[in-house]
Amino acid sequence: MGVTAVRLHESKGSRMRVHLGSDHAGFEMKEALKPYFERRGIELTDVGPDSDESVDYPEFAEKVARGVADGDADLGVLICGSGIGMAIAANKVPGVRAATVTEPELAKMSRQHNDANVIALGGRYIPRQTAEDILDAFFDTEFEGGRHQRRVDEIADLEQR
């Protein structure tokens, strides 16, 4: 019935697993961020695309979202032009709580209060350093639980109806 908050593998001493995907508009940012994941020691799975040729974002949003929902990844990162389309598509997968964020404080709040497990970034609107700061806040923040757990459970119940 309810959802249990994801506890990141990092806290258990193993590497955090992240699935990363983009569309053509987010491809350049996706590629530019790969060294960041390596520096953080994150086990990264890039679900594509492999070039900046035009693609349809729902395909890649689904790949990342299903990886998270199925437990193959702890968290997901999506990048398109604005971050909005990717988040909308990812949120269609039960168990995924994707948030489009533009600054680190929003990433922190998405984890603390909403137990967001996928973050969507706008590659056309966010500088690379800001994207790294956003990811730091997202990866380093735990879900608070408590009163927020009830609300996350209510979201999960909506998915079942």
Q: Check if 148 is active-site.
A: no
Tokens linked to 27: 């491809």
Which burial class, exposed, middle or buried, applies to 2 when counting CB atoms under 10 A from its CB (0-12, 13-18, 19+)?
A: exposed
The CA distance from 160 to 78, in Å, is 25
User: Of 96, 117, 82, which Cα lies nearest the Cα of 7?
Assistant: 117
Catalytic option among 9, 19, 24, 113: 113
Q: Check if 80 is active-site.
A: yes
Query: What's phi and psi for 48, nearest 5 deg?
Result: 110, 180
Catalytic option among 9, 19, 80, 148: 80
User: Of 63, 78, 72, which Cα lies nearest the Cα of 33?
Assistant: 78
Q: Is 83 helix (H, G, I), strand (E, B) or coil?
A: coil
Tokens linked to 75: 């968290």
Active-site residue set: 80, 113
